[in-house]
Amino acid sequence: MPRVIYIHSNGERAEVEVANGQNLMLAATANDLNGIVGDCGGVMSCATCHVIVDDAFISLLPPPVDTEQQMLDYTAAPREAGSRLCCQIVMTDALDGIAVRIADPQL
């Protein structure tokens, strides 16, 4: 199963196996990872699953849709070049080993 590496603001890392087709927000909340809130359940209305995707993986992701772009304008943590809502990142074999830094704060 592919895996994702979540990096907390303090540098702590958590490696989680994620089934193909599952989004990274659900994987984080299912594994009780601190920092990913996911208040809206993945419908892009809260921006509490803001992550910064490692540069090596950005080109493997589809571009964010307009709604995601708009939500990223209202995140609690400053938006960065690799900012994404992890509810919109769906795991595939090609993303095995993806590293995402959890934006802090989320609220």
Q: Give residue 49's domain range.
A: 3-102
With respect to residue 38, please indicate whether it lies within any of the assigned structural domains. Answer: yes
Q: What is the pLDDT of residues 19-50, one digit of tens each?
A: 999 999 999 999 999 999 999 999 999 999 99
pLDDT of residue 95: 98
Mean pLDDT score of the chain: 96
d(CA 46, CA 50): 9
pLDDT of residue 107: 73
> Average of pLDDT values for 10-15?
97
d(CA 93, CA 20): 7
Tokens of 60: 């493997």
What predicted TM-score, i.e. pTM, was given to this entire model?
Answer: 0.95
Number of domains in the chain: 1
With respect to residue 107, please indicate whether it lies within any of the assigned structural domains. Answer: no
With respect to residue 37, please indicate whether it lies within any of the assigned structural domains. Answer: yes
**CATH number where 13 lies:** 3.10.20.30
